[in-house]
Structure 1
Amino acid sequence: MKWLNRITGRAVAEIPSIVAFHEMDTWLEKVSELLFRGLGTNTMALYEEIADKREELKQYISELRNAEPKADMPAQITKIGLLSRDKMVKLLYSLCDKIVIPSQTDYKTVLDFHNMAYHSIESVLAKIFKNIYYVRSLFPDEVREVEANLNQLRDILDRLIAPMKGKETKVIDLSRVHALIQRIREQMAEIESEKEKIRAEEEERAAIKHEIELSERKLQVIEEEAEWKRLKEYEAELTAIGEELNTLRQDINNLFTPLQKPLSLLKKQDRTGRINLSPTVRTVITSILSSPVQALNEDIEDYLRSIRAVILEMDALKERTRDRALKWIDHLLNTDTDLSGIRARYELLSSMAEEVRSKLSALEITKEKEGLEHAITAARGQLTRLDDLIAKRRRGIESQEKELVANEILLQKELEEITGKRIEVKFE
């Protein structure tokens, strides 16, 4: 049955058909007053009764705490009863502290207060039930007064929510609306918070972009200076030397590639103890396997001869592998290979590269250029990070706004169900 059955005629007309979202609490309070007529009027009087009963309970608790036990009780009952009395007094005082009278009389406040107070009373009774016999045996009158007071408190609490009896479904629906309103408020706050963060991040992004533009303009100014021409010449020279070095390095690696397999086998057999290499040969083999360029020093010919002798003397390799290794070592030792010439060319190019690098580092413009380029690279990295973060936030906002719209539509449907007429909520 729609709530229209309870809110009829002039009462329905009194409910505004248009309500601003920020005024929803006031609007719902008016609706709840129409639903639970007499709630506000009776509540204040019942609040006063509860407050009086609470003070009365404190008095009874004090009397129980200070009472003397009956003298004719067995010692064991007296001992248990006194200990239980102390626990009971503590629990009852705690109950009094929890019963704080609200200042509001709306249905939600009344219902929450009723549930809290009623649950607290039931909880205290459950805790003292086990040993109340012993306390009652020692202090029958005082316990009787406390129990009567608690029962009276429960009766008043029942009268407090009497206007809501039979309307539990309405209470649940109103509670659901309150929860929905709270969720919408939270979503609005979350969306606004994310938008504020985006605004701050976009300001930061604009500042970083401005810094990049300034650095790029400074680079353009540098490029117009005479020293810039020398810098570019050195860089071009260094690039050319570097390319030749790379080619030569690859050629050197290729020279020793056919020896990789046999040398690896020799190293493995030396490690397992099958053969015993001299420290010098062991070092040379490791050097050739790890870095042929570094192995290509002035003693490389002698080292290759030492390796050749090891291969001949030790039965460590299969015949086919051994023959190939010996043939290639002979090829390297052949004067046509000119290992010393290759080594000399590599050393010359390395020296030339180092000299050009020294010239580059000596230019003031180099440090300035590198500093600007580093700053630009770092700033672009920051821009990428900010762009990713902003994009992520916008996707999150888009998702939240879809959920918000769905909740706003749901809220209007819930309100129309409550009132039985179309309700327009202004969310601006």
Structure 2
Amino acid sequence: MKWIKKLFGKQESSHENNISSEISFDELPAWLDRSSQKIFSEIENDASGLFKELGAAISELKESNKRLLEAKVEGNFDIRAVKRAKSNRENVTKQVGVFIDKLGIPENKDFKALKGFYETAMQNLNTCLEHMNRSFRYTRPVFPEESKDVTDSLGRIGHILNQLRETIRSHSREMESIEAASKNIAELRELSVLIKTETMELESKNQKLQALKDEAARTGKALEEFKHGEAWQKLQSLQEELTLAGERFKKAETGLSSLILPLSGNFSRIKKLHESGKYTLKPEVKKQLDISLEDPASLNPSFLPELQKVFEDPALDIQAQKKEKALTQVRVAALGFEEKKKEYIEARNAFEAKKSELANSDTGELVGLERKETELLARVNLLQEEIESSEKKLTVLKENLKSREEKLQESIAAIDNGVKIQHSQ
């Protein structure tokens, strides 16, 4: 395998441009275009010379392969060795022929085409060498000169391809950097547009926020002024009067109910006796009895004397002791009922009047101001959350922009380390 290894070698090449200069971001695409054209020109010049050599090497390989195929056996060899050599010679020349057919010189000599050609050519060369290597061990002893010519021709082609590899390699970093720079320029432009749009939206939101805060402050001030005004004082006074009227009404209702409630147990017992047929009540007395159990405040005062007659009736099946106690309670109730009911009616009417007065008072302005202030403050909070989200988004976009600018500078430095990019602020 030593003869195969001799086909490949290494060669150093570099491309540097150290002119110190600054260039604006907007001028960068044109600068990259000029740089790429310059590199393309250098690659094409280098490749043109190599392809001339490659064409001559291919012709030489064809001739060498033909001579090997037509070579006569010279010297004394074992007949079996000659037979094996001729058989394997056919394989060698066949593999070389296949390689030659695949090794077409490309018309397009741009960077990508050259890179693709080199990779394919080397793959085909390695395949050829791999397939012919074993056969060559039997061919060389019988046809030494012709075999050497073939290996020399293959070695020359390998050397030329190696030079092409170095030409490609010497410009790979620059070409990759140009491609990366072009991509970064597009991404930077997109990020710049997004940042500009987001900045304008943020400014608009801040203006809206300030307007809402101002309106909320004016509404709050109007609400405060209203609460110190005559309408508010009147409203507060009505509210206090309604509270007092409500307390008075509750007290009167309790006082009236306290006269009847002690009798409720006996009322229930009399009702059950009536419903079971063990005692009969007059219809009007029965009606008032039901009212006394459900709504004592609505009881008619004339019911109490009739009730007293019921408890005095011997036919009423209630223990004498309980009857006496009930009669006492009825007499007490009869004495104070009319006065208590009068107090109750007056307190109820006063309470209802205050309720009506409060309901009819002009509270629309207060309710409207309170609702408006609540709505404005809710909108302020919501907009503040949106602004915080926009600020975070803008921060991320600016960080991405800075990172892209740094990557772009790295790509440009790989092309020309003396060029510095000036980004518009």
| TM bracket (short chain) | 0.3 to 0.5
Alignment TM-score, normalising by the size of structure 1: 0.41
Q: Which has the larger radius of gyration?
A: 2
Alignment TM-score, normalising by the size of structure 2: 0.41
